[in-house]
Every structure is written in C-alpha cells, then in structure tokens.
Structure 1
C-alpha cells in the first residue's frame, strides 16, 4: 500500500514538473524585447538606443500605470485605447506579448520595451514600458517568487526630457507570495540602489503587491532612500486587497504633480492609474 502511494506521489510530482516546463519557459538571464513598428529586437539585460527623442510634450508628461491581467478580459483593447489617449508613457504589468498585442503596438505607432520574465504557451509575459519615443537605455531585472519559482519583473529606463534633464523610470511588478518581507524588500531595494546613481527626475510605479502593513512599511522605507514621494489620488479607486490596502502606486521626484486619478474598469482585475506631471524649470 505504502509503495503504491509513494509511486503515485512521485508520478504526480513528475507530471506537475513536466506540465510546468511545457507551459512555462523561464530565461536563464533577464531578457528585454523592444518593438518599434513591426521590428522586434531581443537582447540580454540591457539595450541602448542611438537616437532618443524628447518624451514629454511641451513640458507635460501624462502616464498610464496599469496591471493589464495578461489581456484576459475581452474589452482590454478598447479600454487600453481609451486610457492611453494623450499619454506619452504607458507602464503596464502582467502584459502578454501576444500577436494581438503586438498589432496594437504597431497600430498605435508605439515603441515598447518588455522584460520577458517568462514565456507562457509561447508568449512572453512581464512588465512593459511603452512610449511614443525610444528611451536612452532600458534594462531588465527579474526576481523569482520563492514558492512559485516564476520571476516577477522590473524595467529600468531613461528618457530624454525637453528641459535637458534625463528621466529615470522604474516599472515594477513586485514579488507577491512570501512569508515575511525579505525577498520583497530585496527586489525593491535593488531598484532603489540603481536610482541612487541618477541625479535627475524619477518615476517609480507599478503593481507593488503591497497587501500588508509590513510590505507597505518596507516599500516606503526603501523608496524614501531615493527621496521619492508618493502620488495621492483625488479619485482613488485603486484595486485593494482584502486588508483594504491598495496594490498599485506611483512615486516620483523632480517633477510637479498636476493631477492623478484611478477610475474603475472591468477590463482587468486592477484599475488603471492616470497621472499627469509638468517638468520643473
């Protein structure tokens, strides 16, 4: 009896591992994919661009921050059309680089940089930063979930601004399933240390999975080291965990906040964040 039970457990375990490897492909190193029109380029870790142009428009910078739930809802495309209107920068999490999504990027004349945290059934998934202009630099970072072993991703980018400054941007999807905050803090602190080398304005935004008071404290403690302040939303419908804590945040430095709202949407399991800034003289 015990022998049969042991064999059954081993068989199920091997089947689970095989199924995981069949569905998910995890790169050995963080990879970044850039799409400009129909042209797609892939590299390991970082990509530099030769002809970056000004990101803002007449000193204004309008951004969308949104966990798009791998485009699993039927109305994701129409919602993304609406939320991306008049935006110069889109910071999306849980984006799946399907053929339909690639077509959306081409139709909108966007330039995108995505971290391929893993591939699921052939499509890369991870954070993606999308703009009308190429960045100066884009670098991929990944951190594995301690339990699921699938990576969460972050993307560090630098963009040229019309006032002569360089904007550093971190788009993050933070580690979720942990006991304690060690891995969570490590992921955020790694990005904070990269930002400490930057002297100009900063945006740090995304899905922080900040579902506990301990995580909120760890998040804010790390980001205070980079002298960042948090955006306050006048219309705040940010998605909350059962603890009542919002999961998505925008932090900034060296910019003037103009307005911020988080409208409701059924096109994802997260509501979008719409934030506008003006550049400092």
Structure 2
C-alpha cells in the first residue's frame, strides 16, 4: 500500500528563526512528511530557501513583496512536483490592502498523481466577501482533473457562517474534512478552529494536531493511503 505524509502549518513568518528551524527538523525526523503546506512563509528575495527547507522541491505563491522579503504560501515536496499554479484572491483585506494567496501543485507519489491546494483564506473582510472569494476559488479548482486532491491551510473560519460556507464548497468537490486527534491544539478564535485539511480520493491513515512553541498556530500532520 502506497502512502504519504503531509504537514500543514501556518508558521507566522518564522522561516528564518533558529527555533523554527529546530522545530521543523524535529517534526520531519519524527514524521518524515513528503509534503509540507506552509502558510505565512517568509522567503528571501533571490531564490534561496531558508536552511530548514533544503532538500525539498519548493513552490510559492506570494501576496506581499518587500525589498528583501516576500511572504505567502509555500509548498515543499520530497516527491517530484510536476506543476504549480499560483493564485491571489480577488479581494484585498481591510486595513492591510493585501490579497491572500493559494497554490495548486501536482505531485508524483510513487507513480500516482496527487494534487494539493495550499490555502491561506481571507480574514479581515465581511462574510459576503469571504463567501464571494470562495466562489472564485471554486472556479480556479473546477478544471482540475485529478481524482486525488488535498486542500489544506489556514481557512480563517472563526464563525459558524464561515465554516458553513466552506463546508458547502468542499462538498461540491467531494472533499471530506480530516478530523485530527489532539484537535484542542489547533488555533481557534471564538471557539472555532482555523486550520483544516480536506481530502478526496485518499484514505486517512492517521492525523494529529501537534503542539509546538514556535508559531501561534500548531501544525496538522496527516498520513494518507493511495
């Protein structure tokens, strides 16, 4: 039986922090994840990856660029990455005037195709714009042909309405939410968890939320069977 492990983590722009490097290495040594879907990654301009990410293929979709740094979602893969498609939200967040980013990547897992959407969803916008952006994201996903799909990230689902419209969209694509053990470690606002993993065409072997002391979010680690 072929399987692979996924790490999903909002790392709060800590890519260059030595404490993050140690935590990331410890997680990799413990779980040997083939793919990492990171949100709020901070990357230096010039194409060089931070030290803990060496040895992975990498693709990023950045929503903010500064003279020496760029920020966004970052997908790392030990398996061959066949293609990547960056995405920026059509709506900007109030007060920040920045868009949010997502990245669709295609991976070869032991000769089998798996697609991953790594997403950091809009936060500081009214519900109407949050729902509107999910509709736009659905149009982005609609042409996808892969039967095996993972959607993972920080969805900013801090209200029942936001979680409800997200579940509706995931249902359209036959995606089911992964229920990790240790869910109490997930970052929550108003009692609602923000980080999720959804899956289609894969069996969940195990999943857990892992406590760390590096970011204000804790990672989800999930193993899937093809």
Q: TM-score, normalised by structure 2?
A: 0.89
Q: Deviations 1:82-104 (Å, cap 9, x if unpaired)?
A: 22331100000000013885333
Give 1:53's aligned residue. none
Structure 1 residue runs without a partner (length 5+): 1-57
Give 1:114's aligned residue. 60
Give 1:68's aligned residue. 11
CA distance in 2, matches of 1:168, 1:190: 19
Alpha-carbon deviation of 1:140? 0.7
Structure 2 residue runs without a partner (length 5+): none
Pair 187,165 (structure 1): closer, same or farther in 2 beyond 3 Å? farther
| 1:169 lines up with 2:116 in the alignment | yes
| 1:139 lines up with 2:85 in the alignment | yes
Give 1:95's aligned residue. 41
- Please state whether the residue corresponding to 1:117 is helix, strand or coil: strand
| 1:153 lines up with 2:101 in the alignment | yes
CA distance in 1, matches of 2:214, 2:188: 16
- Please state whether the residue corresponding to 2:215 is helix, strand or coil: coil
Question: Max radius of gyration: which structure?
Answer: 1
CA distance in 1, matches of 2:27, 2:134: 27
- 2:39 and 2:119 in contact (8 A); partners too: yes
RMSD between aligned residues: 1.9
- 1:79 and 1:267 in contact (8 A); partners too: yes
Alpha-carbon deviation of 1:70? 0.2
Match of 1:125 among 52, 71, 92: 71
Pair 193,165 (structure 1): closer, same or farther in 2 beyond 3 Å? farther
- Please state whether the residue corresponding to 2:188 is helix, strand or coil: coil
Give 1:79's aligned residue. 23
Q: TM-score, normalised by structure 1?
A: 0.72
Alpha-carbon deviation of 1:199? 4.0
CA distance in 2, matches of 1:113, 1:229: 25
